[in-house]
Structure 1
Amino acid sequence: MSLVNFRDSAVLGDPEGRRIRPGVLYRSAQPFPAADEATVAQLRACDIRTIVDLRDTRETDPADWAAAEATGIAVVAAPVNPTGDGLAARMRTMATAADLGDYYVLLAESAPEAVTAAVEAAARPGAVLLHCAAGKDRTGLLTALLLDLLGVPAERIVADYARTADALPQIFAGLSERHRTALNARGARVTDSEGRELTIPAPLLDAPAEAMAVFLDRVRTRHGGAEAFLPACGVPAATLGAFRAKAAAAAASAV
């Protein structure tokens, strides 16, 4: 079946085409249940040559992208563990959209190797697809950093992120079937990296605009924006230059 929550981030992020070229940076949820001929056709139609999988190794299955890999589409693993050290404790106390934005900052800070791998993959020729499980949290923060790097205004990045709310019922249905997890009205049962049971708080089951606004503000005030944060994660200057050369709109490149 076709990918859920699939879109070109330039559509809402930069509809006038002033900062990012359309057709270079896509995002989605994971395939449900696994990539098939329809999924591969969708990827091929968009010239997607690289897939960046941000899921932790406990969430993946070798069959997920086997059909795509068989056609020559590269899959790059850039695992981010959302319940790693310090993150599980933050999840337990999360109550507001602002808390979710702060959680995203910690999530990005906790995974410099994954951030670097994702950006390096995004700089490869052809279009790239970023995805995690829902295509919301890990996908959202990586997409936001890349859009911020290109100078896309914060309000447009927020709008692209918030659009995921429309797909959440379909995403949760797919995740429930995939993981045999019972999703109730306001929470789901998962385990942290040490096997302890966690309840997913309400903000994580939504895509509140405020969460992404807070994330972008914190990255700007604490790290100087994506321009400074990505090198601090280990992304080489040459990689940033290659991504800009590939993804920046002609008008932005000329500035």
Structure 2
Amino acid sequence: MSLVNFRDAAVLGDPEGRQVRPGVLYRSAQPFPAADEATVAQLRACDIRTVVDLRDPRETDPADWAAAEAAGIAVVAAPVNPATDALTARMATMTTAADLGDFYVLLAESAPQAVAAAVEATVRPGAVLLHCAAGKDRTGLLTALLLDLLGVPADRIVADYARTADALPQIFAGLSERHRTALNEASTAQVTVDEGRRLTIPAPLLQAPAEAMSVFLDRVRTRHGGAASFLPACGVPAQTLTAFRAKAGVAAV
């Protein structure tokens, strides 16, 4: 089936085409249940030649992208693990959208190698697809960093992130079917993480509140000087940033 929560990051992030070249950077949820001929056709129609998978290996299955890889589409693993002790502790106290934004900052700061690997993959030939499980949190923060790097205004980045809310029922249905996890409407859900531990998912993580992305962008700017400073601190070489700007920026058109 076609990918859920799939879109060009430039559509809402930069609808006038002032900062971002359309058809370069896409985002989505993971394939449900796995990539098939329809998925491959969707990728090819957008000239997507590289898929960047931000999920932890424990979330993946070899069949997920097998059809795409067989069709010559590269899959790059850049795992951002949300179940570390520090992140789990932060989740336990999360109650507001602002808390979710702070969680995104910690998530990005805790995975510099994955952030760098994902950004490196974006400069490969052809369009690139970023995805995690829902295409909301890890995908959202990586997309936000890349759009910020290109100079997209914060309100546009927030609008792109918040659009995921429309797809959440379909996303949770797919995740529930795949993982047999009860993602309910009562504000919390539980999933199993390392060594059988149970992790309660707080309400903000089951939503896509605009405030969360606003807080994330504000914190990255005040603490790190924005994506242009944060990404090099994660290990992204200057030449990669230059190459991404040349590829995805309007000046490249």
TM-score (norm 2): 0.98
Structure 1 runs not aligned, ≥5 long: none
Residue 205 of structure 1 corresponds to 206
Q: 2:153 matched to 1:156?
A: no
Q: SS state of the match for residue 188, structure 2?
A: coil
CA contact (8 A) 1:82 1:88 kept: yes
Q: Would you say how many aligned residue pairs link Structure 1 and Structure 2?
A: 252
Distance 1:85 1:239 in 2: 31
Q: In structure 2, give the amino acid aligned to 1:45.
A: A
In the aligned structure 2, how far is the partner of 1:5 from the partner of 1:153?
A: 22
User: Distance in 1 between the 2:237 and 2:54 partners?
Assistant: 20
For residues 154 and 39 of structure 1, the distance between their equivalents in structure 2, rounded to whole angstroms, comes to: 31
Distance 2:246 2:7 in 1: 21
Q: Cα deviation per residue 1:205-230 (whole Å; 9 max; x = unaligned)? A: 00000000000000000000000000
| 1:88–1:192 CA contact under 8 A, matched in 2 | no
> Following the alignment from structure 1 to structure 2, what is the Cα–Cα distance between the partners of residues 77 and 26?
16
Partner residue, 1:38: 38
**Distance in 1 between the 2:83 and 2:123 partners?**
28
Map of 1:1-255 to 2, 5 A cutoff?
A: 1-185=1-185, 186-250=187-251
TM-score, reference length from structure 1: 0.97
The one-letter code of the counterpart of 1:91 is: M
Q: CA deviation at 1:85?
A: 2.8
Tell me the distance in 2 between the aligned counterparts of 1:133 and 1:94: 20
Residue 196 of structure 2 aligns to a residue in which SS?
A: coil
Structure 1 residue 196: Cα displacement = 1.8
Aligned partners of 2:95 and 2:17: how far apart in 1? Answer: 36
> Within 1, Cα distance between the matches of 2:96 and 2:193?
21
Distance in 1, Cα, partners of 2:204 & 2:195: 23
Q: Provide the alpha-carbon RMSD of the alignment.
A: 1.0
| AA at the equivalent of 2:89 | A
Q: Per-residue CA shift, 1:22-63, capped at 9, x if unaligned?
A: 000000000000000000000000000000000001000000
Deviations 1:131-186 (A, max 9, x none): 00000000000000000000000000000000000000000000000001112212
Query: Are residues 222 and 194 of structure 1, via their aligned partners in 2, closer, same or farther at CA, if it must alter by over 3 Å?
Result: farther
The answer to whether the 8 Å contact 1:84/1:192 transfers is no
Segments ≥4 residues shifted beyond 2 Å: 191-195
Rounded to whole Å, the distance in 1 between the matches of 2:53 and 2:206 is 20
In 2: Cα distance, 1:60 partner to 1:192 partner? 14
Identity %: 86
Q: Compute the displacement of 1:192 (Å).
A: 3.7
Structure 2 CA distance, aligned partners of 1:27 and 1:168? 14
> Which amino acid is 2:96 matched to?
T
CA distance in 1, matches of 2:235, 2:108: 13
State the distance in 1 between where 2:15 and 2:190 align.
Answer: 38
Using the TM superposition, give the Cα deviation of residue 194 of structure 1 relative to its aligned residue in structure 2, in angstroms.
4.8
